[in-house]
Structure 1
Amino acid sequence: MDVEVVGRALSTLPEDDDHPYRTGPWRPQTVERKVDDCPVIGELPTDLDGVYLRNTENPVHPSMSVYHPFDGDGMVHVVGFRDGKAFYNNRFVRTDGFLAEQAAGHALWAGLAEDPAKSPTQTGWGARGRMKDASSTDIVVHNGVALSSFYQCGDLYRLDPRTADTLGKAGWNGRFPSDVGVSAHPKVDEHTGELLFFNYATTAPFMHYGVVDTQDELVHYVDIPLPGPRLPHDMAFTEHYAILNDLPLFWEPAALAAGKYAARFHPEMPSRFAVIPRRGQTSDIMWFEADPTYVLHWVNAYEDGDEIVLDGFFQDNPEPPIGGGTLYQRMFRFLDNDLMGPRLHRWRLNLRTGQATEQRMTDTVSEFGMINGTHGGRRHRYTYAATALPGWFLFNGLVKHDLDTGAEERFDLEEGVFASETAMAPRLGSTSEDDGYLVTIVSDMNRDLSECLVFDAKNLADGPIARVQLPERVSSGTHSTWAPGSAIPGWGTADHAASAIGV
């Protein structure tokens, strides 16, 4: 493998580090690499054309006291496919916080599990108002540019979708909401080219919803009234509507007033959904109530007559008890899907009657569901989700849910091998919803390597049809996306240039 090293980060992590979310499958990278022609086991199909991008929490400095796995700096991994070949690039997202800590040589911000007073001179972002914006949660591609984002709200960092080089911040012609930022999970409608987003804060107004057009102009931005600070993580949209949520797991008001961020589940309160026309005003919102739960991720939504069909992962136990296990398992129990029990669930929101009905779609515990992006906001049949290793935030398999028939098809990874969020890549000239490929990066602890696996989406259980060899074992991470080559300016002609960190 011909590997070019294009940058290195200064890391001060201890050589004898024993934190389970900075070692093993979560061992971070410090080197940025470029591979123009990756070795492949099997044969890559020539009608797989585009890029798979995956974001990663990738710490380079010890935390001030308690490291939470969502504190790590953003690093984006790109595996590109064209003409039956694959290339690879990985780059740190050069956030303001990352650059400041590289210059200082140590952490400057308190993390999610730390006392905010530990970073009294630093300002953070949005909902918490004191955390570093690591831009390490999500990634989408809009108007030919990748946008990385942070789940506690922050800037959207613009990246080259081929090289992952940082291009600056989204500005939206001076109208970016710098006072609050943007949450992770903005949505791109592949039919209109619009970007739909939300943000949230600890002071009123507690949530906004906005739309950015194909010219990178913020064309719509309205208040979504909430009774207090909330913890929304995701949103959904249909052809004509956006769906926001007010769920009964949020920061305790008394603790928040004292500067403490303790999330609690309130089962006596309903789940609430705000349905707003995509360019509607606050006064146009219709509110729906349903059974109490927390939904970390929505799959999709679409219109069916008078109803909006909304699919997501209903948590049976949004606030797991501390219980047994190791100290880290107890501390990070909110990352344990086996305890929280997320299962695919369907809500039907009737716009005529104002009533919500709901049903469980499967008994299988899974999360991080992806669909064929061309069905975003339109009717979908298939969801491709991850199964998890009990006790840990690690994906040990893939499951294809058929929501029309209830059938499920699975692929379980070998013990010690862990997947990433799996994107669906429609093949060139695809003719049906599952006519394409599933793409994921795995971290193989048994062989100390990473591969990008490619599956036939119609035949997941048959296993990967190709394995792209990567130059280093990649740390586990959060979200991914797929962008077809047709969505990337200059695709197939540009040199995959790189820029070093320079430290």
Structure 2
Amino acid sequence: MKLERHPPVVTSLKPSNHPYLNGAWTPLHEEVDAEDLDVIEGTIPHDIDGIYFRNTENQVHQPLGRHHPFDADAMIHQISFQAGRASYRNRFVRTRCFQAEQEAGASLWGGLADPAGTSQRPGYGAHGGLKDNASTDVVVHAGKLLSTFYQCGEAYAIDPQTLEDLGIAPWGPIDGVSAHCKVDEATGELLFFNYSKHPPYMHYGVVGVDGKLKSYIPIPLPGPRLPHDMAFSDRYSILNDLPVFWDPKLLERGVHAVRFFKDMPSRFGVVPRHGGPDDIQWFEAAPCYILHFLNAYEEGDELILDGYFQEDPTPPPLTGSVEGHEHMMAYLDMHSFRSRLHRWRFNLKTGETIEQRLGEDTVEFGMMNARYAGKPYRYAYSVSAKPGWFLFDTFVKHDLQAGTSETVKLPDGVYASEAPFAPRIGAVDEDDGYIVSFLIDENRGTSECVLIDAKNFAAGPVCRIALPHKLSSGTHAVWADRAFIETGRVAA
């Protein structure tokens, strides 16, 4: 392994026993380039050509108050595969807030768990007082990497090859861009939404493969909501109005307290991809919260949507957790909110909704072959997690046609990253490729990259590749074929 280290960032962070500042959540402050990565086990396959990107949470400065893991600064990691070789690099996302805190040498903003007034400067996003850290999601669009914040910050553009800062995406609207923009690899279009505390409370937009805004429309809602994801099919985009949002009475006093309004239905807004506000068709379904969707597609008069149904979106404090963090950890525990793979069928002619549970396992963070996004598909890939810590310890492959699943369980003390699908060069079958993920090994204090052959899933990794340092945990990741990065769309 050939390693080049970059100058360190300014940090004021002190050692801590905080559950989200140590262990697998220990912040990483080192930025490096590494060529010819060492293979621990197996052989790097020659039949993939592309890059895996991972967004992680890395607190740089001492928190002003209580620290929530989603408060931390974004760091993008990439591993590039080509001709049976692998290289790695990582960089902080140089957001406005990151740069301001580097200049100050200290934190300037309070976090999600802090009361109003903690921040020393005006805040950003739908919440109105947070640091825009761009640390939630990462996608590739129009030849650029985009890093985004789940409470609607600015979309930060990054060179996908070098991780060089390219500034703020010029098409971003004043209300920001939520995490979970969707990229249709067939058309090269990016679909996005945002939300806020002022009418109409949500917007939806489309950005072309040329990087220019094509449409941006209001999605009127009854009040402030907390959507986290969206989905799309060939012709439609699907937005949501779920009964989990800030308590309106407390919000009037500046208190952001999330409540589950069990007597309200879940609502799904279906709009033609390039449609207007008058084209929105609303469907009602059982009350729940949905953190992430998997895919959507059209079948006759029906629009089919798959995602993860939370049975208890606002669970009670988690017993046996670290004192002072019981409620926070419950909100980050998929076993507490009991997320299950679920299907909604919306009849576009009758307005009827039919729901179906697709499994009883506790899973989340679903991925699939992105070439089948918006189209009928068979295979999905989820993760399960260690109770209480939001740390993934099991990969799951779902065969949605057969109703079966396969798993790969990691050793105790080893935790995964979100695992997208990387198609083989010349692949014909939907599952002809690899699942790619970074691992954090707390037993050894190291990290590595693993590839799992999706057609021989239960056999586990076909190769394990050493990374130059131990990563911090985080949320989302994405795979992009090199040809898609260069052209902005997948060839038909």
| Fold shared, TM-score > 0.5 on shorter chain | yes
Show CA shifts across 1:391-435 (max 9, x none).
111001100011111110000000000000001000110011100
Cα distance in 1, alignment partners of residues 318 and 3 from structure 2: 46
CA contact (8 A) 1:324 1:330 kept: no
1:281 maps onto 2:280 in alignment: no
Distance in 1, Cα, partners of 2:110 & 2:363:
31
What residue number does 1:136 align with?
135
The residue that corresponds to 1:76 in the other structure is 76
Letter of the 1:126 partner, please give it: G
Q: CA deviation at 1:461?
A: 1.0
The answer as to 2:314 corresponding to 1:315 is: no
1:6 and 2:6 aligned: yes
User: What residue in structure 2 maps to residue 476 of structure 1?
Assistant: 473
1:379 aligns with 2:376: yes
Q: Is the 8 A contact 1:90 1:163 kept in 2?
A: no
Query: Offset at 1:329?
Result: 3.2
1:31 maps to which residue? 30
1:149 matched to which residue of 2?
148
Is the Cα–Cα contact under 8 Å of residues 7 and 33 in structure 1 kept in the other structure? no
Q: Deviations over 1:4-40 (max 9, x none)?
A: 002311111113x111111010111111000021111
SS at match of 2:185: coil
Tell me, yes or no, if the aligned pair for 2:363 and 2:383 is still in contact at 8 Å.
Answer: yes
Q: Deviations over 1:76-126 (max 9, x none)?
A: 00000000000000000000000100110111011000012112x522223
Counterpart in 2 of 1:494? none
Alpha-carbon distance in 1 for matches of 2:240, 2:414 = 35
CA distance in 2, matches of 1:243, 1:489: 28
Is the contact made by 2:434 and 2:451 (CA closer than 8 Å) also made in structure 1? yes
Q: Secondary structure at the match of 1:195?
A: strand
Q: How many residues align?
A: 485
In the alignment, what sits opposite 1:389? 386
Q: Kindly report which structure 2 residues correspond to 1:440-459, keeping only aligned pairs within 5 A, or say none.
A: 440-459=437-456
Give the letter for the 1:154 counterpart: G
Q: Residue 219 of structure 1 corresponds to which residue in structure 2? A: 214
Is 1:329 the equivalent of 2:338?
no
1:258 maps onto 2:259 in alignment: no
- 8 A contact 1:436–1:458 mirrored in 2: yes
Structure 2: gaps (5+ residues): none
Task: Name the counterpart of 1:210.
Answer: 205
Change (3 A) 1:214 1:323: closer
Q: How far apart are 1:129 and its partner, in Å?
A: 1.3
Counterpart residue number, 1:90: 90
* 3-state DSSP of counterpart to 1:118: coil
2:103 is aligned to: 103
Q: What aligned pairs does 1:265-276 form with structure 2 within 5 A after superposition?
A: 265-276=260-271
Aligned amino acid, residue 472 of structure 2: S
From 281, 294, 301, the counterpart of 1:299:
294
Q: How far is 1:42 from its partner? A: 1.3
Q: Is the 8 A contact 1:78 1:163 kept in 2?
A: no
After superposition, the C-alpha distances for 1:236-256 in whole angstroms (9 at most, x for unaligned) are 000000000000000001111
Identity of aligned residues (%): 52
Alpha-carbon contact 2:243-2:288 (below 8 Å) kept: yes
Q: Deviations over 1:318-360 (max 9, x none)?
A: 1101252232233331101111110100000000100100010
Flag the 1:216–1:490 CA change in 2: closer, same or farther, 3 A.
Answer: closer
Q: Is the 2:181–2:191 Cα contact (8 Å) retained in structure 1? A: yes
- Structure 1 Cα separation of the partners of residues 428 and 439 of structure 2: 29
Equivalent residues in 2 for 1:172-211, closer than 5 Å:
172=171, 176-177=172-173, 179-211=174-206
Q: Give the whole-Å Cα distance in 2 for the aligned partners of 1:65 and 1:125.
A: 17
Task: Say if 2:302 and 2:347, in contact at 8 Å, map to a contact too.
Answer: yes
Asked if structure 1 preserves the Cα contact closer than 8 Å seen for 2:42 and 2:463, the reply is yes
1:462 aligns with 2:459: yes
Alignment partner of 1:52 is 2:47: no
| DSSP-derived class of the 1:99 partner | helix
CA contact (8 A) 1:338 1:390 kept: yes
Deviation, 1:165, is 2.0
1:22 equivalent to 2:21? Answer yes
2:350 alignment partner in structure 1: 353
- Which piece of structure 1 moves more, 327-336 or 208-217? 327-336
- Partner of residue 116, structure 1: 116
CA contact (8 A) 2:383 2:395 kept: yes
Question: Shift of the alpha carbon at 1:489?
Answer: 3.1
**How do residues 419-458 of structure 1 correspond to structure 2 at under 5 angstroms?**
419-458=416-455
Q: Residues of 2 paired with 1:246 and 1:59: CA distance?
A: 32
1:415 to 409, 412, 415: 412
Residue 497 of structure 1 is matched in structure 2 by none
Cα distance in 1, alignment partners of residues 326 and 475 from structure 2? 18
2:313–2:337 contact (8 Å) kept in structure 1: yes
DSSP-derived class of the 1:147 partner: strand
- Among residues 363, 366, 369, which one is paired with 2:363 in the alignment? 366
Find the aligned partners of 1:67 and 1:190 in 2 and give their Cα distance.
37
Who is 2:225 aligned against?
A: 230
* 8 Å CA contact retained: 2:379, 2:399: yes
User: Does the CA-based 8 Å contact 2:318-2:326 persist in structure 1?
Assistant: no
State whether residues 388 and 396 of structure 1, in contact with CA within 8 Å, keep that contact through their aligned partners in structure 2.
yes
C-alpha RMSD of the superposition: 1.2
Deviant stretches of 4+, over 3 Å: none
SS in structure 1 at match of 2:468: coil
Q: Which residue of 2 aligns with 1:495?
A: none
Amino acid in the other structure paired with 1:465: V
Residue from 398, 405, 411 that aligns with 1:401? 398
Distance in structure 1 (CA, Å) of the matches to 2:327 and 2:437: 29
CA distance in 2, matches of 1:483, 1:370: 13
